[in-house]
Every structure is written in C-alpha cells, then in structure tokens.
Amino acid sequence: MRTLIVAPDTLAEAVMTQPLAALLRGQDPAGRIDVLADPAVAPVFEAMAEITEVFTSGHAFGPVRPWGKFQLARRLDRHRHDRVYVLPGSKRAALVPWLAGIPIRIGLHCGTRWGLINQPHCTVHASGADRPADDISRPAVERFAHLAFDASHPLPGQVPNPVLAHDAARESAARLRAGLQPDTRLLVLCVGAEAGPSRRWPARHWASLIAIAGAEWPGLRPVLIGDPGDRAFATEIAALSGGTALNLCGQQSLGDAIALLARADAVVSHDCGLMHVAAAYARPMVAVFGPTDPRFAPPRSPRAKVEWLHEACSPCHDPVCRYGHGRCTSGVRPESVFASLRAAARFPSRDIR
C-alpha cells in the first residue's frame, strides 16, 4: 500500500502526526508512507523513521494558483499512491490529492469538502449523532491517530507519544554550524512565543534560570533558539545573563534547531512547537505555560514537566494579556523551573563538568 499524508502546517501539529504514521506503518510494515508538507515544517517529517519521502510545496496550502496545483498533482501522480490522509481541514489541502487522482481520500470530516474527501472520518456520540472528527475539543494527536482506525469505534487504547528519530551525522553537523563542539553538553532554551507575548516568560526570569543552572551545572552551555522574530528578546536575555548564553535565534534553520534539541542534556521551553520536538526526543525538559492549557496539549513525554500557575483568568489563550499584568506567565519563578528541571534530568547538583 502506498500512502500519502498531507501534513498540517504548524510545527506542533506536524510533530503530532508521528503517531498516525507509526500506526499506519504497524498495520502495513511493507508499505510506503510519503508526506506532502509545507517547506516550513518539512524537517520534522525528515526526522520520522516511518516516512519514506517528503514532498515539499507551498502550492498545496497557499492560495489557489491552478497551474501550480496541477504541476504538483502531476508530480504526485507519478508515485501512484493508493490512499491519502488529508490532515488540514481546508479545501486547498484536499484539492491536490483529488487532482492527482488518488482513489481513497481520507480526511477529518468537513462538509464543504464533499467530493474532494471521499472517506470523511466522523466519530459518533453515545446519542448516535455524528460529531466532526476535527472537533477541536480533542487533542490533535488523538484526532490524527484515530484516522488509522474505523471512525465508528473509539481509539483502541492510549495513543503513543510522538517519537522522532536520531541522525548522528545531521546532529553533529548542526552543532558545528552553530560553533559548538560535537561533545558540548547543552541546556537548550526555546524562547520563541509565536502565538503572542502573553506566552513569553520574562527575560529576567530566563537570565535568572541561566545563572542558577550555571552555578549548579557548570558543564552545560546555555543556548537560546527561536525564530528571527525572537532575536531581540533573546538578545536581552543574553545581555542580562552576562553573555554566557549563545543566542542562535534567527540564525538557524528549523532542521538545525531540531538537531540541537535531539541531543540536548536539558531543555526549557515556552508552549511552542519546539516544545513538542524536545518531548518527541524524550529530552529532560520543563515547559512554562501561562495563558494556554497544558491539560489539552502538553509535552507528551515521561521526561517532561510542566510549570503552570493556573490563575483564575487562565487559560484564556489571548495573545496579549487582557488585564495587562501577565501574572500567569511572569508569576512562574525561575527557582521552581530549575527544581522541576533537575527532577526531570535527574542530575545531582554540580555533577556536570
């Protein structure tokens, strides 16, 4: 069986696709699983052992440009896929597989895609009423994994955690490009907050955490990673920490950021896509949550811990605090984060040289 997965276009949901790929691989060990992904998230799928080939194109997800979509459909048609799983809910994402003539087109139920998706996936309430399988009350990892099974039955057991594969050569090369030695031990700090400043832990707290970690674990090099838009914030953190942290925000590709996380000795992160990458590599980590709810989409790893105050006004999911105080995030103390990180890493004080 030749299978194509049309991938989500956010980093977090891209990571959450891996359990679906693993379930499909388990059902058909000799089959081929390809992915059609936006270039912005393609490196995640390159780190999945179950994926045979990653096709990248913005034409599948962007505005309708007929010639571009026809060209992409012809490219896919050469691979003769037997079925496709369309994970985004848009018509645009479903159009290219239909043009490519893939006979079985499975997707989360969406009435406006009638014909493009010929096997819509719906779950059923106890009352017997259909419920869209893309119901946002269900975490994405469960919605996606359920596509591997009959929609009329509940998921058979707990969905496995996402797992990404190591590539030693790629990981060493990423370190060298960052000016790090292959054996450097890293404390990776994911300071990005792409969904708005309300998720951003204050720079002074990051700097305090770096100071505490430096005193307790002098053998770990703090490294700040994030998008180009996070560079000014990371520069402030680096300045407050006395220049001990290496600021790589905006200077790396996503593939290199993933490779650094793959071998990190410890990770601290906002609620962001890189948080899910670190969890998929089972790195010792702490995720700082504020206006979002860790009960819905936590870092899925036994080595991950969460710091969340659960203020009366949280979760609100507002990109900017509507009350102006931001206590749900700023109230998380660096000492508490480090205590959780030490528990996750299981490092005694001063044992890393």
Q: What is the pLDDT along the chain (353 residues), one digit of tens a residue?
A: 999 999 999 999 999 999 999 999 999 999 999 999 999 999 999 999 999 999 998 656 666 567 678 888 888 889 999 999 999 988 888 889 999 999 999 998 656 677 899 998 875 443 344 444 445 567 899 999 999 998 888 888 889 999 999 999 999 999 999 999 999 999 999 999 877 788 899 999 999 999 999 999 999 999 999 999 999 999 999 999 999 999 999 999 999 999 999 999 999 999 999 999 999 999 999 999 999 999 889 999 999 999 999 888 888 888 888 888 889 999 999 999 999 999 999 855 444 43
Task: Tell whether 65 is covered by a domain.
Answer: yes
Task: Tell whether 159 is covered by a domain.
Answer: no
**Backbone conformation region of residue 223, classed left if phi is above 0, alpha if psi is from -120 to 50, else beta:** beta
Q: Are strands 32-37 and 104-108 parallel, antiparallel or unpaired?
A: unpaired
Q: How many CA atoms lie within 13 A of 343 on its CB side?
A: 12
* Rounded-to-integer distance, Cα 51 and Cα 139, Å: 22
Task: Tell whether 85 is covered by a domain.
Answer: yes
* Rounded-to-integer distance, Cα 276 and Cα 200, Å: 17
Tell me which of 146, 180, 208 is where a domain ends. 146
Q: Are strands 130-132 and 119-124 parallel, antiparallel or unpaired?
A: antiparallel
Task: Tell whether 214 is covered by a domain.
Answer: yes
Task: Tell whether 163 is covered by a domain.
Answer: no
**Are the C-beta atoms of 161 and 217 separated by less than 8 Å?**
no
Q: What is the pLDDT at residue 261?
A: 98
Q: What is the pLDDT at residue 131?
A: 47
Q: What is the pLDDT at residue 179?
A: 95
Task: Tell whether 226 is covered by a domain.
Answer: yes
For the record, the structure tokens of 115 come out as 């014909």
Q: What is the pLDDT at residue 123?
A: 56
Number of domains observed in the structure of the chain: 2
The pTM for the full model equals 0.91
* Rounded-to-integer distance, Cα 121 and Cα 117, Å: 9
**Are the C-beta atoms of 1 and 82 separated by less than 8 Å?**
yes
Pair 96, 198 in one domain? no
Q: Which domain holds residue 71?
A: 2-146
Residue-by-residue DSSP string for 136-177: TTS-HHHHHHHTTS-TTS--SSPPPPP-----HHHHHHHHHH
Q: What is the pLDDT at residue 81?
A: 95
Task: Tell whether 155 is covered by a domain.
Answer: no
| 3-state class percentages of the chain: helix first, strand second, coil last, to nearest 5 | 35, 20, 45
Pair 258, 304 in one domain? yes
Enumerate the β-bridge partners of residue 114.
117
Pair 253, 305 in one domain? yes
Angle at 182 between CA 181 and CA 186, to 5 degrees: 80
Q: What is the pLDDT at residue 278?
A: 98
**Are the C-beta atoms of 7 and 36 separated by less than 8 Å?**
yes
Question: Using CA of residue 336, residue 342, residue 348, residue 352, what is the dihedral sign?
Answer: negative
Q: What is the CATH number of the domain that holds 305?
A: 3.40.50.2000
Task: Tell whether 350 is covered by a domain.
Answer: no
Residue-by-residue DSSP string for 236-267: HHHHHTTT-SEE-TTSS-HHHHHHHHHT-SEE
In angstroms, the Cα distances linking 227 to 60, 194, 201, 204, 261 are 24, 8, 16, 20, 15
DSSP 285: E
Token pair 């071998």 is at which residue?
263
Pair 176, 127 in one domain? no
